[in-house]
């Protein structure tokens, strides 16, 4: 319990951040009133999202408690292990050495409050067929819920994890934490799709560690929530490690999606490719703030960061803040960011062909996301997500 206790002590000792702190700039942290939230009491029924054909495992977490774990016999035979940490009452390490790295009060809070964790272990050399699906449900009213997902891939193993964060229409706060580590030569495809209720808040944290010659392909999809934030720290610790970091987000009404990314290159000849694309309509807001950090030993590293945002209504806004911190000269880095409305020339071209402007804009918006969706690490999601994007666009108030 030491890790969680120390985290709890830090939470009690420290104050909550404000938007005066750079990493919380543009966020809605100032309107957070923690006193409003209590323990999760009764749960409102929530329809589970569709699961792919034959998942390797299906895990349901409801309001912070692991409810069920099903592992297919095939995946079990391939070596997949999934368990709930509360069941074995073990003291799991926090992210970094002790959860103390780059302090963030909400990481501590998530550590202290999550009483249950889903632990996915893929042993060395195991290749798991099918998707490991984790459904994370927030369905208790006015509750503060913390969840932990731990994914550990052994040397040269391979797996695919899909986390679906869903919820009822509740004014609750979810603190989802994911700790993912890839051993040398491991390959992981990791997608999180967030479809929380329109009144829910999320302050999420992902700690991704990629070892030598390992390949991580990850994607975050944010569709739901009132204010939904995800901080992603992706660190490559082994030579030749490769990270692909993708995101798709689409805000409507008064939603705000907030992404903070760190591409942290510690080892030589590492690569990270980041592409985050978002749209905002109505009065929605979005934030992307990203840092590429190249350590002094990370020679021969390639790191790219691209963030593009579409403004679909006059009242919508998006912030895009790229940053570089380089301590080695033998690297190739780039960052690009763009915020703007649908390009007149694109609409004009489709109109020239007789396409009405509303149809033209819908095609252009879906097309804007198409390259990211096509690269989705979990196949078979693209069509579903394309439809979700089209539905959002159709709801836009004129």
Partner 1 sequence: MSELVISGLRGGPDGKEILRGLDLVVRSGEVHALMGPNGSGKSTLSHVLMGRPGYEVTGGTVTLDGVDLLALPTWKRAQAGLFLGLQYPTEVPGVSLLDAMEASLRARAGGSSLPVPTMDEVAAMLLAEAERIGFDERFLIRPLNVGLSGGEKKRNETLQLGVLTPKFAVLDEIDSGLDVDALKAVSRRVMQSAQTDGLGVLAITHYNRLLDELRPDVVHVFVKGAIVASGGPELALELETTGYEPYARLAPDEPTPIGSGRPLLDPFADPFA
* In the complex, least distance from residue 382 CB atom to partner 1, rounded to whole angstroms: 12
Q: Are 217 and 377 in contact (CB under 8 A)?
A: yes
Single out the residue of 74, 102, 338, 348 in contact with partner 1 (rule: CB under 8 A): 348
Look up residue 22 and give its two tokens.
Answer: 């750079």
| CB closer to partner 1, 144 vs 389 | 389
| CB closer to partner 1, 85 vs 388 | 388
354 binds partner 1 (CB under 8 A): yes
* In the complex, least distance from residue 308 CB atom to partner 1, rounded to whole angstroms: 10
344 binds partner 1 (CB under 8 A): yes
| CB closer to partner 1, 86 vs 390 | 390
| CB closer to partner 1, 328 vs 370 | 370
Burial of 355 (0-12, 13-18, 19+ CB in 10 A): middle
Alpha-carbon gap, residue 295 to 324, rounded angstroms: 11
C-alpha closest to that of 180 among 255, 132, 235:
235
What sign for the dihedral angle of Cα 346, 352, 358, 360? negative
381 binds partner 1 (CB under 8 A): no
The residue behind tokens 């002590």 is 9
Q: 119-178: which residues touch partner 1 (CB under 8 A)?
A: none
368 binds partner 1 (CB under 8 A): yes
* In the complex, least distance from residue 398 CB atom to partner 1, rounded to whole angstroms: 16
Region binding partner 1 by CB under 8 A among candidate stretches 65-73, 192-200, 327-335, 366-374: 366-374
Continuous segment of H or E residues that includes residue 383 = helix 382-395
Single out the residue of 346, 382, 384, 390 in contact with partner 1 (rule: CB under 8 A): 346
| CB closer to partner 1, 297 vs 371 | 371
| CB closer to partner 1, 103 vs 348 | 348
Dihedral (Cα; 311, 312, 316, 317), 10-degree rounding: 0
Percent helix, strand, coil in the chain (nearest 5)?
A: 20, 45, 35
Task: Report CA-CA distances (Å) from 269 to 188, 202, 244, 265, 326.
Answer: 19, 35, 15, 9, 14
Alpha-carbon gap, residue 61 to 138, rounded angstroms: 9
* In the complex, least distance from residue 145 CB atom to partner 1, rounded to whole angstroms: 36
367 binds partner 1 (CB under 8 A): yes
Alpha-carbon gap, residue 275 to 338, rounded angstroms: 12
* In the complex, least distance from residue 191 CB atom to partner 1, rounded to whole angstroms: 20
Continuous segment of H or E residues that includes residue 351 = helix 344-352
| CB closer to partner 1, 20 vs 352 | 352
* In the complex, least distance from residue 311 CB atom to partner 1, rounded to whole angstroms: 17
Region binding partner 1 by CB under 8 A among candidate stretches 59-67, 193-201, 291-299, 367-375: 367-375
* In the complex, least distance from residue 273 CB atom to partner 1, rounded to whole angstroms: 18
* In the complex, least distance from residue 353 CB atom to partner 1, rounded to whole angstroms: 5
C-alpha closest to that of 275 among 254, 313, 244, 303:
244
The contact set with partner 1 (CB under 8 A) reads 344-357, 359-360, 363-364, 366-371
């Amino acid at each position: 319990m030491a890790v969680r206790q120390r985290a709890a002590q830090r939470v009690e000792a420290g104050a909550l951040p404000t938007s005066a702190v750079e990493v919380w700039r543009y966020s809605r942290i100032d309107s957070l009133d923690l006193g409003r939230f209590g323990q999760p009491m009764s749960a409102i029924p929530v329809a589970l999202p569709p699961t792919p054909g034959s998942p390797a495992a299906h895990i349901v977490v409801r309001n912070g408690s692991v409810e069920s774990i099903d592992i297919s016999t095939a995946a079990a035979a391939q070596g997949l292990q999934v368990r709930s940490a509360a069941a074995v009452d073990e003291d799991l390490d926090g992210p970094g050495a002790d959860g103390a790295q780059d302090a963030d009060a909400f990481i501590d809070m998530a550590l202290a409050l999550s009483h249950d964790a889903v632990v996915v272990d893929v042993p060395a050399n195991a290749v798991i067929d099918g998707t490991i699906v984790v459904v994370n449900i927030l369905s208790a009213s006015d509750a503060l819920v913390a969840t932990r997902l731990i994914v550990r891939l052994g040397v040269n193993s391979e797996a695919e994890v899909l986390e679906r964060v869903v919820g009822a229409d509740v004014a609750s706060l979810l603190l989802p934490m994911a700790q993912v580590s890839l051993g040398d030569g491991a390959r992981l495809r990791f997608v999180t799709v967030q479809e929380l209720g329109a009144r829910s808040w999320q302050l999420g944290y992902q700690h991704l560690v990629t070892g030598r010659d390992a390949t991580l392909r990850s994607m975050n999809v944010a569709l739901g929530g009132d204010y939904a934030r995800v901080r992603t720290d992706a660190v490559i610790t082994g030579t030749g490690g490769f990270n692909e970091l993708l995101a798709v987000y689409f805000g409507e009404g008064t939603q705000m999606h907030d992404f903070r990314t760190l591409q942290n290159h510690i080892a030589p000849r590492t690569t990270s490719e980041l592409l985050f694309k978002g749209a905002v309509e109505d009065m929605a807001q979005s934030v992307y703030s990203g840092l590429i950090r190249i350590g002094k030993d990370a020679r021969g590293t390639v790191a790219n960061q691209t963030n593009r945002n579409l403004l679909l209504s006059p009242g919508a806004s998006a912030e895009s803040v790229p940053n570089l911190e380089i301590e080695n000269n033998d690297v190739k880095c780039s960052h690009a960011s763009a915020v703007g409305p649908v390009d007149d020339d694109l609409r004009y071209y489709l109109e020239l062909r007789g396409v009405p402007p509303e149809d033209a804009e819908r095609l252009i918006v879906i097309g804007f996301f198409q390259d990211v969706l096509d690269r989705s690490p979990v196949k078979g999601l693209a069509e579903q997500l394309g439809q979700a994007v089209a539905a959002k666009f159709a709801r836009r108030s004129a």
